[in-house]
Amino acid sequence: MKSNDLILIVSAPSGAGKTTLIERLRKELRMRFVVSHTTRAQRATEANGSDYHFVDDSTFKTMVMKDEFAEWARVHGSFYGTSLAEIAYVSHMHTGTILDVDWQGARQIKARIPDAVSVFVVPPSMRELERRLTARGTETSESLKTRIGAAAEEMKHYAMYDYVVVNENLGEAYEALSSIAVAETCRTRKRSQACESIIRGDEIK
């Protein structure tokens, strides 16, 4: 019964704590992360194939033409996308699959994979979000204003998600997110095969 075919979409405005929550899911629930493709320049601290699949514009556009992406978008002049092959590769490991995408990507993926479960992580207030972003020490006053504005726009799409997690306390937010992940793997349609095997007298491992 350890098989986990869950595809979990997690979205959030920058500063809501999504990355930390996803890393904990990967560590504690052994869920696997789908690596996206991008055309932006690789940073010194990033590893190709681990952080992103770094490709050139021509390769990315060819993949778009071949309908190889579950979702893709152009952000700040660079392309980003989640390939269907990458989702299939991770899903076949039966450990649970995590996709980190924005609301537009989540909508595209849900259209292609209706059984995917979507969660939107939000801060307890815009004031707290501003405090967190400021604490990073990486934002100028102008970029901070831009991020806050973008967060407000993104949060308008909360209703399209299956679940909303408010990250006021990181531990409580993780408990909520992990509970969603565990509960979704116990849905009847996901356990029907196991139940039929038990009825037949088979041993389920």
DSSP letter for each residue of 134-198: HHHT---HHHHHHHHHHHHHHHTTGGGSSEEEE-SSHHHHHHHHHHHHHHHHT-HHHHHHHHHHH
Give 32-41 pLDDT, tens digit per residue.
999 999 999 9
Q: Which of 7, 43, 51 is nearest to 25 (CA)?
A: 7
Q: What angle do CA 117, 165, 36 make, to 5 degrees?
A: 50
**CATH architecture, domain defined by 4-34+95-200:** 3-Layer(aba) Sandwich (3.40)
Residue 2's pLDDT is what?
Answer: 43
Top pLDDT among 188 and 165 is at: 165
Residue 204's pLDDT is what?
Answer: 65
Average pLDDT, the chain: 92
The rounded distance, in Å, linking the Cα atoms of 119 and 11 is 6
Give 68-94 pLDDT, tens digit per residue.
999 999 887 899 999 999 999 998 887
The rounded distance, in Å, linking the Cα atoms of 134 and 147 is 11
